[in-house]
Amino acid sequence: MTQTSPLAPSSFPKMPAIRGIEMATGEAGVKYQGRTDVLLAKMGAETVVAGTFTKSKTASANISWGRAALKSGKAQVLVVNSGNANAFNGKAGEDSVDRIVNFCAEKFSCDKSEIYPCATGVIGEPLPDEKITACIDNLSKNLQGDIFEDAAKAIMTTDTFAKGATKTAKIDGVEVTINGIAKGSGMIAPDMATMLSYIFTDAAIEQSKLQAIFSQGIEQSFNRITVDSDTSTSDTALIFATGKAGNNPEADLSDFTEKLHELLLELAHLIVKDGEGASKFIEIRVEGAENDMAAKTIALSIANSPLVKTAIAGEDANWGRIVMAVGKSGEQANRDKMSVSVGGIVIAKDGQLNPDYVEAEVTKHMQGQNINIQTNVGIANGTATVWTCDLTHGYISINADYRS
Amino acid sequence: MTQTSPLAPSSFPKMPAIRGIEMATGEAGVKYQGRTDVLLAKMGAETVVAGTFTKSKTASANISWGRAALKSGKAQVLVVNSGNANAFNGKAGEDSVDRIVNFCAEKFSCDKSEIYPCATGVIGEPLPDEKITACIDNLSKNLQGDIFEDAAKAIMTTDTFAKGATKTAKIDGVEVTINGIAKGSGMIAPDMATMLSYIFTDAAIEQSKLQAIFSQGIEQSFNRITVDSDTSTSDTALIFATGKAGNNPEADLSDFTEKLHELLLELAHLIVKDGEGASKFIEIRVEGAENDMAAKTIALSIANSPLVKTAIAGEDANWGRIVMAVGKSGEQANRDKMSVSVGGIVIAKDGQLNPDYVEAEVTKHMQGQNINIQTNVGIANGTATVWTCDLTHGYISINADYRS
């Protein structure tokens, strides 16, 4: 059994029920024994859904289904199983999705396009979907409102702690709730989504607006984190809005947008904090790039560099590796104007060592759990911030025998 | 002290002297104590040179010098120091290069543009160039022809064994010799060059032809290997042709080209075999891609995936991670036509598990030192082969405390 990440929060947040959402979790025994592995969520008939999916070219059958279903913009059922990703198993994978969807459509008397079956776990094995539909059958009799911690647990794979976050926002004076859960620990370099994350709100929002706000938030949160540069075949983030809060859907959404974006960032950070083997949470800020996209590319080049990540694991102020990672990014950098700071301490400026630099000060910062790296590449005004964790013996231990 | 890589060859090859090349190695004490850290090579006055350098945007002062000097196409002096890369130290770095070049130009009565100073080691520290020029002064009195193993040792940093290869080729009936040395172990994802590699030949070849043949060979060798996806600020590969073999420079170069390309590939493989912490040598072949460049991108996506590399370290036939790495490459792949083989055994075809697949057979292959991965992505006819090593606890141990 893997130990809980040292970066885990002390407890799961108290998350209230959301009007229009009921859930249940169960043990289908898809792969894991003695723990829950299926989450069923039933939403009210007026629920709108927005979402993003992995850009992987080998995406799972569930992703193909979800992408098509999302065109309806409506949702009534979410089913998530852990232990088997239902990916790269050909026609069998599509058939599994069909059987789960058909079962749910009949069970809950809704349109197939309102059903979202999601899967996470091992790739390339047939999904025992009959275990999942049998489980759904049981769970449908026992739906409850406030079991978000159970829900977050049921979707875990190599995660060492359940991940959830909650916010309240006001739309035109009406209070609405936003709850989110997420899973992810390895194979984390989301590209238009994360491993799996589900957000639920009782707000009433028009689907196209919800999609726009959500996509914008995903780009600034899940799309800015990386554990190991490996992008999953199953990345999915969905938001369900039941409309039960009864607010005016035409009202100003600025507070809702702000709170939703905060919640997405909180969940994204929790995934980094549960990065496989992680012992440090790292924020990387790039400034002075050609534009914001270039800044993001440079920041991810630093965040994905095994040499930067191992230096941080070793609490070594090896800033030359940061310079190397900027240089390999392919984006413009002015070697003779560059600066590098760690923990707010200027190590190098104008392309060389700061004469006032005292390594012991940076070493002290590196002995902490939260590491800040900042670099200005001296070209223009592009900026970006990304988050990652260090690369430790724990990552190797977890991944050299995960499947076996 | 790090142990010699388990993938190291049993001995350094016997490498004959090359007419027109003399060398010496010495201990300047730049960083390391009790070992050589400077290589001096003196070439005849008619020597032509071709080369490639890192594409890093934070390349060292030595790279800038070499790139400019190469325009002359001539060479008489090569100086390589290990222990300090003379990178990212601003004007001080350029001044160090100037002092070494000026010293050598006077010492050896040649043009500055015929002098190639190279450096490898830690980034961001001033180079104590006076130690290097003092060492060159001594070495100039003691030049010899056949000390390629000493030469290969003097340029090592975290390398666990010296790397050399030799070939003979015929040009128009005249026998010529090609000797090469290289260093590299971590920060290996060469992009137009490798860490450091120097090739010497007595062949007479026009500079522009030599550059063309060399660049072509580099693209198929050093540019197809990766240890950790991190590209060095000092990557340099140079070939020196003294012309002392006396062959007709206008003659057919096909045998020379073939042998040179073989030699480059041999050196590139040796670098992978000394990859930090490596326990397996991995060949990755991609077929059926949109074109050859797309195939290379996919192959490197597999080769750089921490999850693929750790699975191989764990001798785990976790082929789903190969599918994942194809999917994240950004290049086209037809999920439902893809095939994956490991060790020549077809694991998946037509986008799903081969019904005849027996995992034990692949596991047996994975317990060996040489791992073969093959995938056809089912789009068109693009192919590429790249080489890498696995990702082990050794890599973490080496890199979490390399600089301290």
Q: What is the pLDDT of residues A123-148, one digit of tens each?
A: 888 999 999 999 999 999 999 999 99
CB contact under 8 A, B323 and A395: no
* Section B247-273 average pLDDT: 90
Nearest neighbour of A307 by CB, restricted to B87, B228, B331: B228
CB contact under 8 A, B404 and A314: yes
Which residues of chain A does B233 touch, with a Cβ-Cβ cutoff of 8 Å?
Answer: 323-324, 327
Which residues of chain A does B228 touch, with a Cβ-Cβ cutoff of 8 Å?
Answer: 306-307
A87-100 residue pLDDT tens: 988 899 999 999 99
pLDDT at residue B191, as a whole number? 61
CB contact under 8 A, A310 and B87: no
Cα angle B312, A88, A278; round to 5:
45
Which residues of chain A does B313 touch, with a Cβ-Cβ cutoff of 8 Å?
Answer: 396, 400
Round the average pLDDT of chain A to a whole number and report it: 91
Cα angle A367, A373, A377; round to 5:
155
Round the average pLDDT of chain B to a whole number and report it: 91
CB contact under 8 A, A57 and B331: yes
CA distance A361 to A292: 30
Lowest-confidence range among A12-16, B5-9, B167-171, B220-224?
B220-224
Is B194 a residue whose pLDDT tops 70? no
**Other CB atoms within 10 Å distance of the CB of residue B44:** 16
Nearest-CA distance A147 → chain B (Å): 32
Which residues of chain B does A371 touch, with a Cβ-Cβ cutoff of 8 Å?
Answer: none
Residue A28 structure tokens: 């289908």
Nearest-CA distance A141 → chain B (Å): 36
Q: Write the single-letter amino acid at A393.
A: H
Q: What ipTM does the predicted assembly reach?
A: 0.82
Closest CA relative to residue A67, chosen from A84, A79, A83, A55: A55
Give residue A404's pLDDT band: very low, low, confident or very high (50, 70, 90): very low
Q: Is B2 assigned a catalytic role?
A: no
Query: Does A392 contact chain B (CB < 8 Å)?
Result: yes
Nearest-CA distance B394 → chain A (Å): 9
Is B389 a residue whose pLDDT tops 70? yes
Is A150 a residue whose pLDDT tops 50? yes
Give residue A64's pLDDT band: very low, low, confident or very high (50, 70, 90): very high
Give residue B1's pLDDT band: very low, low, confident or very high (50, 70, 90): very low
B335-358 residue pLDDT tens: 889 999 999 999 999 988 999 999
How big is chain A, counted in residues? 404
* Section A31-41 average pLDDT: 95
Query: Does A313 contact chain B (CB < 8 Å)?
Result: yes
Closest residue of A to B55, CA-based? A328
pLDDT at residue A1, as a whole number? 47
Considering only the C-alpha atoms of chain B, give the largest distance between any 2 of them, rounded to a whole number of Å.
72
CB contact under 8 A, A92 and B352: yes
CB burial of residue B367 (10 Å; 0-12, 13-18, 19+):
exposed
Residue A49 vs residues A61, A64, A149, A235, B375: alpha-carbon distances, Å = 19, 16, 22, 16, 37
Nearby residues of B234 by Cβ (< 8 Å), 6 or more positions away: B54, B59, B60, B62, B63, B85, B87, B118, B119, B120, B195, B196
What values do phi and psi take at A314, rounded to 5? Answer: -85, 5
Q: Which of B47, B52, B194, B375 is flagged as catalytic?
A: B194
Is B379 a residue whose pLDDT tops 50? yes
